[in-house]
Structure formats: C-alpha cells, structure tokens
Amino acid sequence: MSATTWKEKLAGSVREDWAREIDVFETQIDLRKKGKIEERLFAETRLRRGTYGQRYDNGQRNDGEKTQTLPFPSGELTKGPVTMWDAPGMQRIKIPFGKLTAAQLDMLSELAEEYSDQILHITTRQDIQLHFIHIEDTPDIMRRLASVGITTREACGNTVRNVTACPYAGVCNTESFDVIPYANAITFFLLGHPDTQDFGRKFKIAFSGCKDEPCGLTNFHDAGAIARTRIVNGQVQRGFEYYVGGGLGAVPYPATLFDEFLPEEELLPITQSVCRVFSRLGERENRARARLKFVVKKLGIEEFKRLVLEDRATLRPDERWSSFLNDLHVTDEKPLKPPMPIGPGPYPAGFEAWRATNVRPQSQLGYVTAKVTFPLGDFTAKQGRALADLARRYTGDAMRATVEQNLLFRWLPEADLPAFYAELASFGLGADGADTITDIVSCPGTDTCKLGISSSRGLATELRKQLSVISETLAPAAKDLLIKCSGCSNSCGQHHVADMGFLGVSRNVNGRRVPHFQLVVGGQYRSNAASYGLAIGAVPSKRVPEIVKRLTDRYIGEKLDGETFQSFIGRIGKKEVRKLVDEMNVIPPYEQDPSFYSDWGDPREYTIGDLGVGECAGEVVPIVQVELAGSEREVFEAQVLLDEANYPGAAERAYSSMVQAAYALAREKNDQLSRDPEEVLREFRKYYYDTKLFFDPFSGGKFAHYYFAAHEDRKAAGASKEGAHQLIEEAQLFVEAAHQCYTRIGSALP
C-alpha cells in the first residue's frame, strides 16, 4: 500500500533525531491550533525552525486606497502576536556555508514548486528562502529537506544562525587553508548545543580563508574566523585570526580582534565559551541592545576576553572539540572530471563576456569556478533542477550559494566552460556581470518583509534594468562598483558595505507619504567588509537611478589613477555628495506627477491612508517638518566633522540632532517647550516614550533608547572615531524614527 503522508513515505530515510524534532514541531502546531500553547511561545518555537511571518500577516493590507481586512479562514487563530494563522509565511532553510548537493537542489526545487511560488531565493547569508508558505505545510517541508540532509533547526530565533564561509574555500588562490572542515565542525557542534539555547538575540559566525578578499565578510559577524598559519618548531600550525562583536543591523559595529592566532583545537571550545558569556551577559529586555556587539562594547575587549578565557577554563572537555581534526578531508569535494585546458574556440555567443566576469581559475590547475548570477537572488524550480543536472554532469556535488545571492560551481574543467555556458544560457541563466554594478544585492524589502519601508527589490530591479542596458559602455571602474539595497535600516541587504548602498525610508511631502532611500557611501566590501559607509541623505525612490548615474559619471570623470570609489568619496568630501542629494530632492506635486508617490514595481499609492490636511495639520505640520529637516542637517554635519577627524565635535552634533528631532515632536505637545536638552528629553519621554507614541510596531522604543543613552553618555561618547561613528548611526536612526512617528501622528489626524 502506498504512503499517504510524507512522514510514512520518508520513514527510515530521515535521521532519527531530526525526525523526532519535526514530529514534536508538528505536535506543537496541533497544540497551538487547539489553543494549548501560548502564542509567544509558539512564535519562538516556529522561528527556531526557520518559519517566519511575512508582510500582511496581521490580516491587514492597504490596497492603495484603503486598508482591507484579509478574511483568513482560520479566523482569529494566530501563530504569534498579531500574526494570523493562515497568513502566508517564509521558510528559511539553512545551508551551512552555502554548500549544496545536486540532490538537495532537486529537493529544494520540488518544495518551491509544491508549496511556494516556484521561486527559490538565495539570501545574503547563504540560506535559501521559500515564500508564501502555509504554517501547516512546514512539517512536511522539513521532513523532505531532512531526507536530503538539510535541517531548518535554528534558522531563525535567538540562536546560532547559518554558519557562512567563503564560497571559494578549498579552491581559492589566496587562502591560507580550506576553512570548510572547521565551519562544518562548528555548525554541527553548536546546533542544538545546550549553551546556545538561551540567547537574548541571534548569533552569527563567518569563516574566511584570507584577510584581504571580501568573501567571508567576517568583520560584521558576532564571531569571525580568518584562516592563519604559523611555524612552530618547524611545523606548520593552523589557527584563526579570531574576531568578536561585529554586526550590521541598524547600527553597524566592526568586529574586534579577540586573538591574533587562535589554534585550531581551541576554535570550538573558545566559541562555546563566547556563546556562554553572551548567553550570561547579553541583554534580554531591550532587543535593540541584545547582540554580542553591545556586550563587547560595554565590557571592553580585554574584560570580555578575560571572561571568555575564565569560562573556557571551566568547560567540561568535549571530544568533539578536536575529533574533527583527525579527518580534515571529510568535506573535500571530488571532481567529476579530470582537469583540462580550454580549447581555442570558436565559443558560443556571449561566452567571452560571461567568462570575463563569472569565471575564476582555481588553485588546482585546469579547474575553474563559474558563478551563476541570479537577479535579486531568485531562480525557478525548473532552473534549479536544470542546475542540479549540470552539477551531476560537469562538477559533481560542488555548488555553493554565495552572500551575493548567486550560485558558484566549482571543479569545472576549463575545457568544459563553453558547453557549460551554452547550457546555462539555454535556460536563461547565462547572464554575465557577476560581482559588478549590475549584480545588485537586495533584501526582500516591502515585497515580503514585515519591516520593509521601501521596495528594495523594486529599486534593484529597476537599477539592474537600466544599468544592464548601458553596462557595455561603462568604464571598467564603473562596472566594478557594487550596489546593495535594503528595505529598511536593518541592513539585510548589507548596504553599509557597498560602494553605493541604499536603505529604505519614507518622507512626508505635502501631506503625502513618499518612498525614499538613504544614500550610503564610503563602505568597503574588500578585506572582509573592512569599513562601513554612512548615510548622506534621503533621495526619492524614483530619483535613485539618476543619482546612481550622476555619481558614477562623476567618479569616472574625476577619479585619479587607481582611485577606488571609497577613496574618491573621501577626497571630494561628503558635502559634494550631499549637494547631489539635495539637487535630487525636488518632488513634483502629486497632481503633476503621481509616480513619485508610488514605489518601484508597485502601483499602489505609497500611503498609509488619507493623510489629514485640516487646520491643525496645515499649521503645525510644516513646523515639525522644518525642525526634523534641521535634525537631518545636523546628522549630516556630524558626518562632515567625523571626516575632518573632529570626533568630539561629530559626536556632539549627532547628539544635538537627536535633541532637535525630539524637540520637533515634543513641541507638538508643549508649545512652551524650551530647547534646554534636559527639558526636551523630559518632555519627549513624557509624551512620546511613556505613552509609546514613539514606538513602532516592530522596533518598539529602541530608537528612543539611542537618544536616552546618548543623553546619558554625551560627555564621553565622542572620545573615539568609532564612538562618534556609532553615535552618528544612532542619531540617523532616531531622526528617521521621529519622521515615522510624525507620519503616524499625521495619519491619525482628523
């Protein structure tokens, strides 16, 4: 008799412990449906299995004219606070270091086809996401994934997230050694480990084989390990340059060096102790301050290190710390074919351009890697199957999802390149331009993310479309520029480490909401994302392509020999860039050009409803706007002071911008308000924080905490460059939150 459920069909082909976990999760789903599990507990439970909510899962959606209620069949049943049971959700699937086999890609494609919308989406952390999934389908999805060796456990929630690594590891010309055996060991050592189950926030780990390339992006991870070797008594010893406390998010922190050389046998126990200290000392109440970076900053690296080493000394020995070192070849890939140099041609049309950007020689002679570029990280189930088939015939199981949202094939004999390319092109995946200006990274943004403010994917699509048309005529230095887009300040699109980064914000213009993007420049992707850019100012979404073009033209026209975009921006100064931003900030009245009042790829009017333009709004709103614009200006001035190495001045100006933004709002409630910082803070707290008026549905009051902390620390904050940089980031976010608060208030007016 044939099986009637996936559980029956896959019995015996799923690891016993994984099968049990999934059964438990399925039971929890049943219990929640019966109301026997509290919704918050269930939410954390499903998040730990990678099962997320999506936009509109509160059962409300604005159709461009009004907010409609979505009448889901399960009524008021929820799968978390304000998260309707039947609302489509997202399943994040951890792919450790992005390594995929052909069988896994086939399975992922089946799942996208049967439960999702035909699309597989690669994330900026080497995961794969399926969207528009129903919660009740997730146990079967998990079983089918488990049958090919994939677990979604701890893909989200306050856990150790997907461990990422350089996709070239093992075949790279600049690596010290292959980091994959170590990444693999730490992945499964920490998965479900008792010491990683009680964090206040997530914990991300990244590995890189070298220091100078961007591939590992260790600088913005909670723990980052860069491969190192040294000679001891004539023997080569392996270890890691080990960093802690990095992170992007709303306020990015560069990682701090923990140990210049952490011996390989100490990698797992020290990371375990880092986790234990994080678990013990990490913030629990205020999510905005709960990442490891805040613990490291608060304690200082020396004290943090002391605590970690003290903890390390108390750990009960675990054979897993070093057992994996007995076979560092366990993760090696076996090439399917012998190496062979490429023939003289002729080659298929488009091949040379593709080869120039998408192909790299491996450290193993005669083999190359080939990158398949996916626009916005998306590809279809059918393409997924075709890629799995290519892997089986050309390379074996040697694919890696990359943080640039592409897929890397490894161990491809050079001689096979033309045929491989021709096949890729036949199913629509022969695009060149990997790691160039057209290879734009984007988070999901307003397409599916609950936190999205502007359409990062819509913008990325438009930029890609426009840039692809002119890419052949672009100067090489322009082609090499990297663009990354995030739909909000949370940095999932990694906008801080692009040449040009964009993060979604909104502005009120003449009583209507207009989608904007903050332009972020000065970031550096190389050297594991060595430095972060700062926002220069907000540009209307519909003018972003124009500012990209003008900045690119200016760079090409004025750059010095060998000058990078980052150096160019540093040389001309942010004031010059700001001038461009200001020129772009002319928005025609709605009646003249309504297109500015919609976002890219979404014809709905970008508004949360009919904004009031009554007497009250007509008189008071412009004053608020003037004050808020003033606070924005002050943030920018703080950046200029930072560039001039006036760190105390930059910090003071950043703080001052927060006071002005708080004043702008507080004056609405108290028109006798003075500009005395103590009084402004008191009144802001009274009218906006204590009442939660300043809180937004997702971030709560976290941005107000930046202001309060800055007020407390204002005499000490600007002592260092890093301190001033961070304060500017926080000021930017507070001012942005003040804008949003004002918009919410405006929308509530009669």
Contact set with other proteins (CB under 8 A): 3-6, 9, 55-56, 61, 63-65, 68, 70-73, 86-88, 106, 109-110, 113-115, 117-119, 131-132, 134, 375-376, 378-380, 382-383, 385, 388-389, 427-429, 447-448, 457-458, 461, 464-465, 601-604
Is 176 or 395 the residue whose CB approaches other proteins more closely? 395
CB–CB of 213/198 below 8 Å?
no
Q: How far apart are CB 114 and other proteins at their closest, in Å?
A: 5
Tokens representing residue 295 in the block: 């613990």
C-alpha span between 425 and 352 (Å, rounded): 13
Distance CA 25, CA 23 (A): 5
Q: How far apart are CA 607 and CA 610, in angstroms?
A: 7
Residue whose CB is less far from other proteins, 4 or 314? 4
- Tell me how far apart the alpha carbons of residues 390 and 409 are, in angstroms, rounded to a whole number: 9
Q: Name which of 401 and 745 has its Cβ closer to other proteins.
A: 401
SS3 call for 708:
helix
- Alpha-carbon distance of 326 to 179, in angstroms, equals 15
Q: Which is nearer to other proteins, 379 or 568 (CB)?
A: 379
DSSP, residue by residue, 497-551: GSSEEEEEEEEEETTEEEEEEEEEE--B-HHHH-B--EEEEEEEGGGHHHHHHHH
| Least distance in angstroms from the C-beta of 7 to other proteins | 10
Closest approach of other proteins to the CB of residue 132, in Å: 5
Residues in the chain: 750
User: Is the Cβ of residue 427 or residue 708 nearer to other proteins in the bound state?
Assistant: 427
CB of 86 to other proteins, least distance (A): 6
Give the largest CA-CA distance in the chain: 82
- Please list the residues that pair with 84 across neighbouring strands: 78
- Whether residue 556 contacts residue 544, with contact meaning beta carbons closer than 8 Å, is answered with no
Nearest-angstrom CA–CA distance, 1 and 275: 49
Whole-number minimum distance, CB 698 to other proteins, in Å?
18
Q: Among residues 119 and 277, whose Cβ is nearest to other proteins?
A: 119
Q: Minimal distance in Å, beta carbon 609 to other proteins?
A: 14
| Minimum separation from the CB atom of position 3 to other proteins (A) | 7
- Residue placing its CB nearer to other proteins in the complex, 423 or 447: 447
Smallest gap from residue 107 Cβ to other proteins (A): 10
Q: Which is closer to other proteins, CB of 54 or CB of 152?
A: 54
Q: Are strands 67-69 and 60-62 parallel, antiparallel or unpaired?
A: antiparallel
In the complex, minimum distance from the CB of residue 750 to other proteins, in angstroms, rounded to a whole number: 25
Neighbours of 14 (CB within 10 A): 23
Q: Which is nearer to other proteins, 113 or 679 (CB)?
A: 113
Question: Which residues make beta-bridge pairs with 256?
Answer: 244
Q: What is the DSSP string of 583-649?
A: HH-----TTT-GGGGEETTEEEES-SS----SHHHHHHHHHHHHHHHHHHHHHHHHHHHHHTT-HHH
User: Taking the alpha carbons of 30, 36, 38, 44 in that order, is the dihedral positive or negative?
Assistant: negative
* Least spacing, CB of residue 61 vs other proteins, in Å: 7
> At closest approach, how far in Å is the CB of 339 from other proteins?
29
Q: Residue 413 or residue 487: which is nearer to other proteins going by CB?
A: 487
Strands 205-208, 223-232: pairing kind: parallel
CB 166 within 8 A of CB 215: yes
Burial 151-178 (b: 16+ CB within 10 A, else e): bbbbbbbbbbbbbbbbbbbbbbeebbbb
Tell me the backbone φ, ψ of residue 239, rounded to 5 degrees. Answer: -165, -165
What's the min distance (Å) between Cβ of 603 and other proteins? 4
- For residue 696, what are the contacts with CB-CB under 8 A and spacing of at least 6? 737, 740, 741, 744
Nearer to other proteins, 88 or 282 (CB): 88
Nearer to other proteins, 116 or 272 (CB): 116
DSSP per residue over 659-696, as a string? HHHHHHHHHHH-TT----HHHHHHHHIIIIITT-TT-B
In whole angstroms, how close is the CB of 85 to other proteins at the nearest point? 11
Look at residues 547, 446, 433 and name the one whose alpha carbon lies nearest to residue 492: 446
For other proteins, give the closer residue by CB, 362 or 373. 373
Q: Which residues pair with 483 in a beta bridge?
A: 500
Say if residue 346 is preceded by a cis peptide, omega within 30 of 0: yes
Q: Which is nearer to other proteins, 426 or 674 (CB)?
A: 426
Minimum Å gap between C-beta 109 and other proteins is 8
> Nearest approach, Cβ of 362 to other proteins (angstroms)?
28
Report the residue number, 223 or 381, with the smaller CB distance to other proteins: 381
